[in-house]
Amino acid sequence: MSEGFKLEIVNPEKSFLSKEMVSEVVVPAFEGDMGILKDHISIISFLKPGLLRVIESGSNEETYYVEDGIIEFKDNCLSILTSNIFDIKKVDKNIVSEALSKAEKDIQNSNISDQNKYLLDQKIEVLKSLNLN
């Protein structure tokens, strides 16, 4: 009997990550951070900007930044579709600074919808935390 579940992360350019034996994934869902474990109830949810944590058996943990997307968990397979994802350990700090500057500029737009303002606030908060590390 398997101890984990399958994880697939796809972005527009390629299949970003595929793992067979994941024990937990924590996703930044609109409802709040959501932990997914083996045999979780089937679910579809939207992602907000935040940190996605992938935990394998043996306590090996990887952390990624995601901007948005959709998750689906069904039959012990978690699929994540996102427009932008990067490994926070391997990212160039200049890219984070540029994304932060753009988000701070975009949020100043007076015609921005409440939903877009909320998403930009989330993005700014997470990117600032990445810049501090």
Range of the domain at 107: 93-132
The answer to whether the CB of 40 falls within 8 A of the CB of 26 is no
| CA 43 to chain CA mean position, Å | 16
**Helix intervals (H) in 1-133:** 93-106, 114-132
Structure tokens belonging to residue 89: 């350990």
Say what the pTM is.
Answer: 0.84
Together in a domain, 21 and 79? yes
Same domain, 65 and 117: no
Domain CATH code at residue 60:
2.60.15.10
From first to last of its 133 residues, the chain has per-residue pLDDT tens of 468 899 999 988 889 999 988 999 999 998 889 999 999 999 999 999 999 999 987 778 999 999 889 999 999 999 999 998 888 888 888 888 888 898 999 989 888 898 888 888 989 998 888 865 5
